[in-house]
Amino acid sequence: MTIAKLIDKRFHNIPGKLRVAEMFFDVPVDYSKPSEGTIRLFARSVKRLVTPPEPEKDEKQLPWFVYLQGGPGFGCRPPQEYGWIGTVLDKGYQLLFLDQRGTGLSSTITAKTLTLQGNAVKQAEYLRHFRADNIVRDCEALRKFLTADYPDEQKKWSVIGQSFGGFCAVTYLSKHPEGLREVFTTGGLPPLVDEPDPVYKLTYEKVQQRNKAYYAKYPEDAERVKEILKYLEVNDVPLPSGRLTARRFQQLGIMFGMHGGLDSIHDIVLRAHSDLTFFGFLTRPTLSVIDSYGSFDSSVLYAILHEAIYCQGRASNWSADRLISDFPPFRIDDEAPQVFFTGEMIYKDMFESYDELKKMKDVADILATYDDWPALYDEEQLAKNEVPVYSATYVDDMYVHFDLARSTASRIKETKQFITNTMYHDGLRSKSDELMRELFSLKEDSID
C-alpha cells in the first residue's frame, strides 16, 4: 500500500543542465495511527536535463539515490549547491533531496508552529515523532510512491547519509532493509548506545583536543578570549536572535570540527577583541557575524532533539549539561591559562540566550525526562545485514567519535570503510570530489 499522497509537483530547469522536480507529499504524523493527522513533506528530484526534454510519461526509470541531510533539524540546500551531485548523476542515478520532517519546507518546527499542537505536554508528544525512526518511515512511503510503476527488481533505492543522515541510514538498515539497494555514509555511523552520556564523555575529550590545536595555532587568543568572556559576564549584549552571554560565546567552538573552523573562530575572536580594545563595546558587524554562527533559532529541532537521537529506552536528563563539570578546562576562570570553547553539545542556558528556544524551554525539559524512547537500531538485524554499506569515517571527527564509529562498522555486516585523517566532518562539502571518488571505489573495486 502506498501511504504517501502527492500534493503538488512542478518541474524546473536550473543551471548545470539539471532537471528538477519540486514535490510536496502528505504522510501520517504517526504511522501506527495513519488516520490521525498528516504532515507535509517537501523533496526535490534531480536528473540530467535531456535536450529536447522528454515528456514526463516517457522519462526513464533511473535508479534513485537519496540524500539524507545532517542535523537533526536541518533542511536540504538547493541541489545546485552540492558539489558532488555531478558524480552521482554520471553514475546513472537520479537524486532525491528530502527535507526531513520538521525541517526546511517539511512541516517546519518552530516555537509558533508547535503551539498548534496545544500545551507543552502535547507539543512534546508531537515531537516524539520526529526522530530517525519516522524519518525512515517517510523515506519508505516516498519510495513506494516514486517506484510504484517500476519493475520489482528496480524498486529498491540507494541512500547517502551525511552525519545524522547516516544515523538515519543505519536505522533504515535496521527497520526496512528491504527498501535499500546500497547505503553510503559520510561521518555518519551512529554510536550504538542507549543514552548520550558515553557519547558526550568522548565528545568532550575530542573537543578538548581541538581547543589545544586552536590555542597552539593562535596562542595570542588565550588572553583575548578571557577578556571577551569577562566583558560578556558583566554586560547585557543583545543579538538579533537573543542575548550574547559568555556561555553562548563559548559555544562558537562547535565550528572547530569543520575544515577551516579554527581560522573562522580566530577571525571572530580577533574582531571582538579589537572592538573592545578600541571602542569598549562590540560593534554591530561583529555581533552580526557571531549571530550568524548560531542557527538554533532557525533550526530548533537541532537543539530540542539533539540528545534524544541517542536515546533508546533511556532518558537524556540534559547529558551535556551534567557532564561538563567533569571537564574543568571549559570552566570560565580568569585565572586559567586558557578557557576552552565547547562543541556540539546542547545546554539548558541555550533555552535562555536564544529567543526562539526560550519559548520551548518547558517542552525541552519534558523531552529530557522521557525514558521510553523506542529502539532506533536492531543489532541482530545489522549483524546479518545483506545491504552493501560504504562508509567514510574520519579519524579526527569532532562530532561522531572515531572509536564509536569504528565499533559500529564492525557490527554491521557487509560494511566497507574509507578511513582518513586528512578530512574533517564536513568532507562531503569541503572535499566532495575526492570523497565521492573514494566511496564509489569501495563499491566498484574488489579485494578478492
Residue carrying the nine cell digits 583536543: 209
Instruction: Report how far residue 126's alpha carbon sits from residue 33's, in angstroms, rounded to the nearest whole number.
Output: 13
Q: What angle do CA 104, 69, 92 make, to 5 degrees?
A: 110
* b/e 127-145 (16+ beta carbons within 10 angstroms → b): bbbbbbbbbbbbbbbbbeb
Cβ atoms 347, 246 nearer than 8 A:
no
Catalytic residue among 99, 133, 397, 426: 397
Residues 6+ apart with CB under 8 A from 395: 402, 419, 420, 421
Overall residue count recorded for the chain in this entry: 448
Catalytic residue among 107, 129, 425, 426: 425
* 286 grid coordinates: 561583529
Please state, in angstroms and as integers, the Cα–Cα distance from residue 174 to each residue in 160, 387, 413, following that order: 15, 11, 12
425 belongs to the catalytic site: yes
Greatest CA separation for the chain:
71
Catalytic residue among 163, 174, 353, 432: 163
163 belongs to the catalytic site: yes
Residue carrying the nine cell digits 564536513: 426
List beta partners, residue 418. 392
Instruction: Report how far residue 340's alpha carbon sits from residue 398's, in angstroms, rounded to the nearest whole number.
Output: 14
Q: What is the DSSP letter of 56?
A: G
397 belongs to the catalytic site: yes
* 97 grid coordinates: 533531496
Cβ atoms 64, 413 nearer than 8 A:
no
Please state, in angstroms and as integers, the Cα–Cα distance from residue 157 to each residue in 31, 72, 123, 144, 386, following that order: 21, 22, 33, 10, 14
Residue carrying the nine cell digits 590545536: 213
Q: Which of 328, 348, 435, 347 is nearest to 391 (CA)?
A: 435
Positions marked catalytic: 163, 397, 425
